[in-house]
Amino acid sequence: MQIDKNCDRKLSEFINGDDLDFYEEYTINLSDKEQQEFFTDNPDFMQGFPISRNKIYLLRDPIFRGILRKIKEHVGGKEQC
């Protein structure tokens, strides 16, 4: 069944993804206020990336997100399961 394989793949990507992947998939389109609330309610979110909480608006820029990924890969390497 193609649907089940697709769901399994999406679940696996969700579980194994990092905070930046989650941000791009689920929180990028929230309003500024909703994003602030999300970051306040989840203080460990994006902890592995060099970004200040008062600069989260920068996460909407795809170039900035790409730079964050490169920094994380260079400094800590990608986590493997």
Per-residue pLDDT of the chain (81 residues; tens, 9 = 90+): 456 666 666 666 556 668 888 888 888 999 989 988 998 999 888 888 888 888 888 999 999 999 998 998 888 755 443
Residue 53: alpha-carbon gap to chain centroid: 14
For residue 65, count other CB atoms closer than 10 A to its CB: 19
User: What is the model's pLDDT at position 7?
Assistant: 66
Distance of alpha carbon 10 from alpha carbon 15, whole angstroms: 9
User: What is the model's pLDDT at position 8?
Assistant: 66
Inter-CA distances, 45 with 27, 31, 49, Å? 11, 17, 9
User: What is the model's pLDDT at position 19?
Assistant: 87
Q: For residue 53, what are its two tokens?
A: 């909480």
